[in-house]
C-alpha cells in the first residue's frame, strides 16, 4: 500500500501537497468533533497540528503559505 492509498488520518498518509500524517493526538481540534493530528511537511520538514478533517488539503504554514498549525501540546 502506498502512502497515497491510506486513509487521510492514518499515519504515513501523504496529501497532494506533500504533508505527511505522523500521528494522532488526544487533543481536541478547533472544528466540530475533530482531534488534532501531527503533520510533517515533505518540503521543509516543519511539524505542526491540524484537524483530521483538514489533512487532505493542508499546506505547510512555513513554506507553502498555509494556515497556522494547531498546538500539539495542551
Instruction: Give the model confidence (pLDDT) of 18-54 as tens digits.
Output: 999 999 999 999 999 999 999 999 999 999 999 999 9
Residues 28 and 10 sit within 8 Å (Cβ to Cβ): no
Q: 31-46: buried (b, 16+ CB within 10 Å) or exposed (e) per residue?
A: eeebbbbbbbbeeeeb
Could you tell me if residue 71 is inside a domain? no
Phi-psi region of 18 (alpha: psi -120 to 50; beta: other; left: phi over 0): left
Contacts of 30 (CB under 8 A, 6+ apart): 51, 70
Could you tell me if residue 41 is inside a domain? yes
Quick one: pLDDT at residue 3?
A: 66
Could you tell me if residue 12 is inside a domain? yes
Q: Is the pLDDT of residue 74 over 90?
A: no
Quick one: pLDDT at residue 6?
A: 80
| Domain range enclosing 7 | 3-57
Amino acid at each position: 500500500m502506498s502512502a497515497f492509498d491510506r486513509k487521510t488520518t492514518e499515519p504515513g498518509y501523504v496529501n497532494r501537497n506533500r504533508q505527511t500524517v505522523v500521528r494522532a493526538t488526544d487533543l481536541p481540534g478547533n472544528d466540530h468533533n475533530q482531534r488534532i493530528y501531527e503533520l510533517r511537511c515533505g518540503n521543509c520538514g516543519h511539524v505542526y497540528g491540524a484537524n483530521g478533517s483538514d489533512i487532505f488539503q493542508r499546506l505547510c504554514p512555513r513554506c507553502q503559505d498555509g494556515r497556522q498549525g494547531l498546538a500539539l501540546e495542551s
